[in-house]
Chain A
Amino acid sequence: MFHIYCPHCCEYREEEEFHVAGQAHIARPLDPDACTDKEWGEFMYFRANPRGIHHELWVHGAGCRKYFNVTRDTQTYEIKEVYKVGEKPSVVADDVK
Chain B
Amino acid sequence: MSDVTVAAELKTEPKLVTNQLPAAEIMGESPLHHADLESVAKHGPQEGGVHFHERKLMGLLTLRCMPSAEQQEVIKSLLGVALPMQPLTSVTADDSPIGKVSVRWVSPDEWLIIMVGEKAFELETSFFEKLMGHYSLVNISGGTTIFNVSGRHVVDMLKKSTPVDLHASEFPVGKVVSTVFAKSGAMICRVAEDQFELVVRRSFADYLWLWIQDASREYGLVVHH
B and A form one assembly: yes
- Which residues of A approach B to under 8 Å, CB–CB? 8-11, 13-14, 16-17, 62-66
Q: How many residues of B contact A (CB 8 A)?
A: 13
Could you say which residues of chain A place their CB within 8 Å of the CB of B108?
Answer: 8, 64, 66
Could you say which residues of chain B place their CB within 8 Å of the CB of A16?
Answer: 163, 180
Closest A residue to B181 by beta carbon equals A62
- A9 near B180 (CB under 8 angstroms)? no
* 9 A-B contacts (beta carbon < 8 Å): A8-B108, A9-B88, A9-B177, A14-B163, A16-B180, A62-B178, A63-B107, A63-B178, A64-B178
- Which residues of B approach A to under 8 Å, CB–CB? 87-88, 106-108, 110, 163-164, 177-180, 185
Kindly list the 9 A-B residue pairs having the minimum CB-CB distance in the complex, ordered from nearest.
A64-B107, A14-B163, A62-B180, A10-B87, A63-B178, A9-B87, A8-B108, A62-B185, A62-B179
Please report whether the interface of chain A is mostly helix, strand, loop or mixed according to DSSP: loop
- B106 near A64 (CB under 8 angstroms)? yes
Given contacts A17-B163, A17-B179, contact A65 B107 (CB under 8 A): yes
Could you say which residues of chain A place their CB within 8 Å of the CB of B107?
Answer: 8, 63-66
Inter-chain CA distance A25–B84, complex, in Å, is 32
Given contacts A63-B178, A63-B179, A64-B108, contact A10 B88 (CB under 8 A): yes
